[in-house]
Chain A
């Protein structure tokens, strides 16, 4: 009996601990998703400070000087300092104040001279989002600025064929000079031009590289930017047509490949060319599944394999399973765990009004809480908001207007957009709600589960030509973000 008790006691302890150890997860391995693929999350309102980096666009005399727009979703006014940086090395700072619930726009090109002008915004607090609007009425683009620099940036798309120009802007917002290497994957393979290795970006400086001079006539160019020292922010700007007259696209890169990407809304307009570029920068082949959900029109799923260090272009307009002129949400999932980078480009029907070309990056993360800035693009664009469900089950989403009242930010439900049900097969879209204050005032989207939110400019050009991902808030990320 004594032996039985002793042996049993020992075995019970060993067994219980062993079973528990096996069944209860330890959590993610540190560093596995430490580098969020998304670089434009908004910090909480309680943050001590936050900073945004906008590599910008051409200078005052250029075709598309950028406007930096700051939206304050916190409950109090925020003091900030904007520093304009030119590619020639000129820097100038100016203080400003962003009212609670309000927006402030600055054109850095008015502060400094240079062929290219970017800006950094240092905010005494958090809860503010910053984005760039660049271009003219005929060709403009909207892209979020980066709230965190990174040592790696990835771009899935870009082209220097058909008269297009492609510029890569590298901005070092910190106090450490950066040394950067570039590598590219094109249809012809991977290349790392020696002239694009060891690029020095001094601390606080801006370098712009005309990729067209090094990679001429490439139909598709996927780019990997690696900072050997320091951290940078990278954007690509592609112009179509003479001086970008047909369209321009400016987008922020992804800081890391991810296994899950979302494009909340895409429409294959008849006559247009909509393609999704999937870039695999790793050494292993990626097996991806593309799932297009179009509400009652059902789902279409496609499986593809992207070889290592290569880019694959999926042309949605060439897929019969996806109907024309029907908005659909697109999810790209890597089924074998190999991270990829996803971007979408849209070349509108030549008969459509300008702008007729645009590109945007997909969203690698989902969040429960999003900031939707007010976007006043050149021209008379209207915007639609799309909220797509990434939870795998129905969620409830509310769109709240951010009003500044007596220096405070108040959230007011937007009529018709409060506690709306969103399902994986049916996204919430304001296309059919012309009176909704989309793009005209800052909004917040609060959902009961992970969703992705994007703004799409309508009716200018074709749908999807000008799209801007909205800003997830740091506290709104669910536990598993799917990055890495």
Chain B
């Protein structure tokens, strides 16, 4: 039975081959599944003796092939084949022979490529417990006789399958609900259940073009659906978007087969596993942006759940014929999850991008065309694994234990308190504020709700999750670099530079969030520039610019809602990139003549079955004409970068409005957009900043390796590599210079926090490292052996040495974050009578709990209604309100202008004044946290106060009690009129977010539509 539907040019060859079979008792029946053209003439010409039956509609291979049940009587075997197979003359005979010899009910031949009969496609197939099918041969594997033994297989792949007629009738034929991709699995599984044997007879060889699986030919539609073919652009239609892709079809049919063929007991065990695997796959797909894969996973469930009645009927029918138990059938299946195994193997050997590749058969691996590639990808996998292990080991104590309350790592209240506080219009900071609540509270509250109210987990995820997010961002940033080595160098460098770990050691949440966000911000700026490799010259429509701008706005808004200090980071990076771009304005050097193509077309390995697809024109490498070698678009590029940077920042401010408006209108806006100034004597030196070592981690000469490695691209790069290296270096230097100037106190009240600026600089430098690697690969060959090669060697050594400090710091298991914070030491403040009364926290901004308001050079203050600061201290706002009076009184005491501070602050209900000297309590023998000494004069001044009583304190902090304070705590009051306004503000904020996200989604869809679509065979 040859099922044909709009057969290709090999149809005649197929018929001829069937006619040439040496098996004498072959009768060929052609089932025309509603082909557009009449096949009778073609069939008649190629195989005059064949029967032809035309079906009114194409309901898939299985349904079409089932016509044999009506058409044929008395046959011993049915041979089901596609219209694009070319069997060897002896293929059928050998298969029949094997059927008798092995007493097999289903026999499959060795299937080879249509255009190369030495390249194997299938020699039978295997399946796991969930029905996921996997090939027994490697993609591109050549036939050297290694699979020439007759074997039992679980699945005889469709295309050319010999089935015993009585078995076929017993099983009721193919499942007609399976239109394509899965009917072979279903038939063979059922055959197994009824005790039949399925074998592969490799002696029989068949060439198969696999037009349907390759997507060259449309898949038969489901009932009522319209078919759309190949190259035409996708139309924006909701109906189209709901029709399944090949991947979706395969998923649903695999699941259907599993649901039908398991006994109830086994089904109960397998379904949860399928669910778990599906959830995991969906999560990974969503994170990596492969929404179609996620939809396929979900669609498989919904499709099958919608057909449960049918499934039950089929199950009953099969159960009546069952011969083998599931346990016996399972013996023939693969252990574990084939899909998961292949994913992990593919990720390790080819990289995550290939692992996430969307393909017809998700378990087909891309053919490596570089003989040495396998070894290299193993080395790359080892490098990534080592880096990840270092990080995990370095954080293992934090992963398994509680997070100490130090710095910005503050305890979070319940999720409903966070959401309630955000929506109530009252912000418990300082003396209480009726300004708009910070969006960060809403974000954390929502996260707490999603995590089942476990706010401790939210805090841990917030802190530690920044590292994988940053690493993911770095991987995304460097993805356009067409060099696995470059991507590896950049990614590993970013994962192991000390920036994030110093932020952990210092309890700096803005530093960690900046580490997470910086590569994403850079990625938006780079893509918005339109310059290769991040953008495509001459193809940067306004939509791309808008996409980059809105993406940057969303990322900055999310990061800025948690740490307002990040709101300036895009502007700084933008300015640096613009300056770097201007530096490299000028004609391109001759050796950089060839511009590489858009990377998204080059880096995706082509699945073997898709090799016949023509390449989209814009994906070809085009040599640049000499007259086009100048950089006529430098000004335009700079303008684009500036537009994205400025636009993104403005978008972020709009998304965060009205909180951002409140932040920018307060008197301390510059202090809050930066950070309270630290004492210049204790700020990091320029050289420490340059090597990104502004903390205990990486404070060794080895840290110089990172900037040394990053310098390579400047020295040997050319073309776009040099241009981007210049941009990245200037972006990094812009961040570092600002951090240095702010630390010196030369920027007035605006002092960008070092950890935030270092994160931006680190991301830029790590991209420069990748560019240096690319320069080594691409530009060095144009030069004779000389200093350039030596420089490359030095840069490589620098990179290796530069990441070593992270290894050392990982030994503590917590990257030097003190084990014990202030919660244990000062928990008494939250209990009993001590809990009534405000607490004034004073200290160096780097050791203070939360983000304080500036008190003077090197000092800041936080005012809490009682006890340890909570998350509200992370977003104090730029207007301290009445709390500013308390600060003035403290300044008086510090300057020796009063000895009655207790009496001065008593009206504000301040019961305790805590001076923090170090990041955490000093516990001899256990922890010696960082301290800066900025508070010593303050402590002396407080001790001079006549009316403050110093309580017995521990090392690292001093507590003064104000016995005079007995006043009720004055609080800001919410007025009635503010509630309605606040609600309006919340609605407006929500609307802005929806508008921007909707805009982004629309722009991305529009971009996808503007690209020529591949012949996916998706149903329209």
Point out residues on A near B: beta carbons under 8 Å. Answer: 1-3, 5-7, 9-10, 13-14, 17-18, 20-21, 24, 26-32, 34-35, 41, 43-44, 46-51, 120, 122, 126, 147-151, 173-176, 203, 229-231, 474
Cα distance, A13 to B932, chains bound together (Å): 28
- Among the listed A5, A31, A122, A230, which residue makes an inter-chain contact with B584, where contact means beta carbons less than 8 Å apart? A5
- A-chain residues with CB within 8 Å of residue B900 when the two chains form the complex: 48-49, 122
Q: Are B686 and A122 in contact (CB under 8 A)?
A: no
Task: Choose among A3, A5, A26, A32 the residue with the greatest number of B CB atoms under 10 Å from its CB.
Answer: A3
Q: Are A6 and B580 in contact (CB under 8 A)?
A: yes
Minimal beta-carbon separation of A471 from chain B (angstroms): 13
- Among the listed A2, A14, A43, A175, which residue makes an inter-chain contact with B733, where contact means beta carbons less than 8 Å apart? A14
4 new A-B contacts at CB < 8 Å, known A49-B900, A149-B944: A2-B585, A3-B717, A26-B744, A203-B949
Q: Are A6 and B690 in contact (CB under 8 A)?
A: no
Minimal beta-carbon separation of B899 from chain A (angstroms): 4
Beyond A9-B730, A149-B944, whether A17 also contacts B744 by CB under 8 A is no
Beyond A174-B943, A230-B950, whether A10 also contacts B714 by CB under 8 A is yes
Minimal beta-carbon separation of A119 from chain B (angstroms): 13
Cα distance, A225 to B854, chains bound together (Å): 35
The verdict on B323 contacting chain A, using a C-beta distance below 8 Å, is: no
Beyond A6-B725, A30-B934, whether A48 also contacts B737 by CB under 8 A is no
Q: Are A30 and B897 in contact (CB under 8 A)?
A: no
Cα distance, A64 to B58, chains bound together (Å): 122
Cα distance, A49 to B725, chains bound together (Å): 60
Beyond A6-B722, A48-B897, whether A231 also contacts B714 by CB under 8 A is no
Minimal beta-carbon separation of B169 from chain A (angstroms): 77
Minimal beta-carbon separation of A113 from chain B (angstroms): 24
Q: Kindly list the 8 A-B residue pairs having the minimum CB-CB distance in the complex, ordered from nearest.
A: A31-B936, A31-B933, A6-B726, A21-B686, A48-B898, A47-B897, A51-B899, A176-B950
Q: Give 26 CB contacts A-B under 8 Å.
A: A5-B586, A9-B579, A10-B711, A10-B729, A10-B730, A14-B733, A17-B740, A21-B687, A24-B744, A26-B683, A27-B681, A31-B934, A31-B936, A31-B937, A32-B933, A35-B936, A35-B940, A48-B892, A48-B904, A50-B898, A122-B900, A151-B943, A175-B947, A176-B949, A231-B943, A231-B950
- A-chain residues with CB within 8 Å of residue B711 when the two chains form the complex: 10
Closest residue on chain B to residue A120 by CB atoms = B946
The verdict on B948 contacting chain A, using a C-beta distance below 8 Å, is: yes
The verdict on B542 contacting chain A, using a C-beta distance below 8 Å, is: no
Task: Choose among A5, A122, A176 the residue with the greatest number of B CB atoms under 10 Å from its CB.
Answer: A176
- A-chain residues with CB within 8 Å of residue B899 when the two chains form the complex: 49-51, 122
Question: A-B contact count, CB below 8 Å?
Answer: 155
- A-chain residues with CB within 8 Å of residue B681 when the two chains form the complex: 26-30
Closest residue on chain A to residue B897 by CB atoms = A47
Cα distance, A122 to B947, chains bound together (Å): 11
- Among the listed B586, B736, B952, which residue makes an inter-chain contact with A229, where contact means beta carbons less than 8 Å apart? B952
Minimal beta-carbon separation of B592 from chain A (angstroms): 10
Task: Choose among B733, B899, B935 the residue with the greatest number of A CB atoms under 10 Å from its CB.
Answer: B899
Q: Are B950 and A46 in contact (CB under 8 A)?
A: no
Cα distance, A149 to B679, chains bound together (Å): 25
Minimal beta-carbon separation of B196 from chain A (angstroms): 71
Minimal beta-carbon separation of B1000 from chain A (angstroms): 34
The verdict on B945 contacting chain A, using a C-beta distance below 8 Å, is: yes
- B-chain residues with CB within 8 Å of residue A230 when the two chains form the complex: 943, 950
- A-chain residues with CB within 8 Å of residue B587 when the two chains form the complex: 2
Closest residue on chain A to residue B960 by CB atoms = A176
- Among the listed B682, B904, B943, which residue makes an inter-chain contact with A29, where contact means beta carbons less than 8 Å apart? B682
Q: Are A6 and B714 in contact (CB under 8 A)?
A: yes
Minimal beta-carbon separation of A454 from chain B (angstroms): 23
Closest residue on chain A to residue B685 by CB atoms = A21
- A-chain residues with CB within 8 Å of residue B932 when the two chains form the complex: 30
Minimal beta-carbon separation of B87 from chain A (angstroms): 62
Cα distance, A3 to B713, chains bound together (Å): 10
Q: Are B898 and A47 in contact (CB under 8 A)?
A: yes
Cα distance, A5 to B587, chains bound together (Å): 13
The verdict on B628 contacting chain A, using a C-beta distance below 8 Å, is: no
Q: Are B682 and A30 in contact (CB under 8 A)?
A: yes
- A-chain residues with CB within 8 Å of residue B892 when the two chains form the complex: 47-48
Closest residue on chain A to residue B689 by CB atoms = A17
Closest residue on chain A to residue B943 by CB atoms = A231
The verdict on B990 contacting chain A, using a C-beta distance below 8 Å, is: no
- B-chain residues with CB within 8 Å of residue A9 when the two chains form the complex: 579-580, 583, 726, 730
The verdict on B404 contacting chain A, using a C-beta distance below 8 Å, is: no
Closest residue on chain A to residue B743 by CB atoms = A26
Cα distance, A229 to B955, chains bound together (Å): 12
Q: Are A46 and B726 in contact (CB under 8 A)?
A: no
Task: Choose among A5, A147, A151, A174 the residue with the greatest number of B CB atoms under 10 Å from its CB.
Answer: A174
Cα distance, A452 to B615, chains bound together (Å): 89
Q: Are B950 and A17 in contact (CB under 8 A)?
A: no
Minimal beta-carbon separation of B771 from chain A (angstroms): 12
Q: Are B722 and A2 in contact (CB under 8 A)?
A: yes
The verdict on B715 contacting chain A, using a C-beta distance below 8 Å, is: yes
- A-chain residues with CB within 8 Å of residue B945 when the two chains form the complex: 174
Q: Are A17 and B943 in contact (CB under 8 A)?
A: no
Q: Are A122 and B946 in contact (CB under 8 A)?
A: yes
Closest residue on chain A to residue B900 by CB atoms = A49
Closest residue on chain B to residue A1 by CB atoms = B586
Q: Are B737 and A231 in contact (CB under 8 A)?
A: no
Cα distance, A149 to B950, chains bound together (Å): 13
- A-chain residues with CB within 8 Å of residue B943 when the two chains form the complex: 149, 151, 174, 176, 230-231
The verdict on B963 contacting chain A, using a C-beta distance below 8 Å, is: yes
Within 8 A of A (CB), among B901-944: 902, 904, 932-937, 940, 943-944
Q: Are A27 and B714 in contact (CB under 8 A)?
A: no
Closest residue on chain A to residue B950 by CB atoms = A176
Q: Are A2 and B682 in contact (CB under 8 A)?
A: no
Cα distance, A13 to B945, chains bound together (Å): 47
- Among the listed A7, A20, A31, which residue makes an inter-chain contact with B714, where contact means beta carbons less than 8 Å apart? A7
Cα distance, A44 to B898, chains bound together (Å): 10
Cα distance, A9 to B726, chains bound together (Å): 9
Cα distance, A49 to B900, chains bound together (Å): 7
- B-chain residues with CB within 8 Å of residue A7 when the two chains form the complex: 714-715
Q: Are A10 and B733 in contact (CB under 8 A)?
A: yes
- Among the listed A1, A3, A21, A35, which residue makes an inter-chain contact with B740, where contact means beta carbons less than 8 Å apart? A21
- B-chain residues with CB within 8 Å of residue A18 when the two chains form the complex: 686-687, 690
Cα distance, A230 to B584, chains bound together (Å): 63
Cα distance, A17 to B722, chains bound together (Å): 23
Closest residue on chain B to residue A231 by CB atoms = B943
Minimal beta-carbon separation of B325 from chain A (angstroms): 72
Closest residue on chain B to residue A179 by CB atoms = B952
Closest residue on chain A to residue B858 by CB atoms = A30
Beyond A13-B737, A26-B744, A48-B898, whether A2 also contacts B946 by CB under 8 A is no
Closest residue on chain A to residue B688 by CB atoms = A21
- B-chain residues with CB within 8 Å of residue A176 when the two chains form the complex: 943, 948-950
- A-chain residues with CB within 8 Å of residue B722 when the two chains form the complex: 2-3, 6
The verdict on B666 contacting chain A, using a C-beta distance below 8 Å, is: no
Minimal beta-carbon separation of A463 from chain B (angstroms): 33
- B-chain residues with CB within 8 Å of residue A126 when the two chains form the complex: 897
Q: Are B733 and A13 in contact (CB under 8 A)?
A: yes
Cα distance, A148 to B580, chains bound together (Å): 55
Cα distance, A21 to B686, chains bound together (Å): 6
- B-chain residues with CB within 8 Å of residue A28 when the two chains form the complex: 681
- A-chain residues with CB within 8 Å of residue B723 when the two chains form the complex: 2
Q: Are B680 and A26 in contact (CB under 8 A)?
A: yes
- A-chain residues with CB within 8 Å of residue B588 when the two chains form the complex: 2
Q: Are A34 and B940 in contact (CB under 8 A)?
A: yes
Cα distance, A138 to B758, chains bound together (Å): 71
Q: Are A148 and B687 in contact (CB under 8 A)?
A: no
Q: Mark B691-725, 1 if CB is under 8 A from A, else 0.
A: 00000000000000000000100110110001101
- A-chain residues with CB within 8 Å of residue B895 when the two chains form the complex: 474
Q: Are B946 and A30 in contact (CB under 8 A)?
A: no
The verdict on B306 contacting chain A, using a C-beta distance below 8 Å, is: no
Closest residue on chain B to residue A149 by CB atoms = B944
Beyond A48-B897, A49-B899, A231-B944, whether A30 also contacts B937 by CB under 8 A is yes
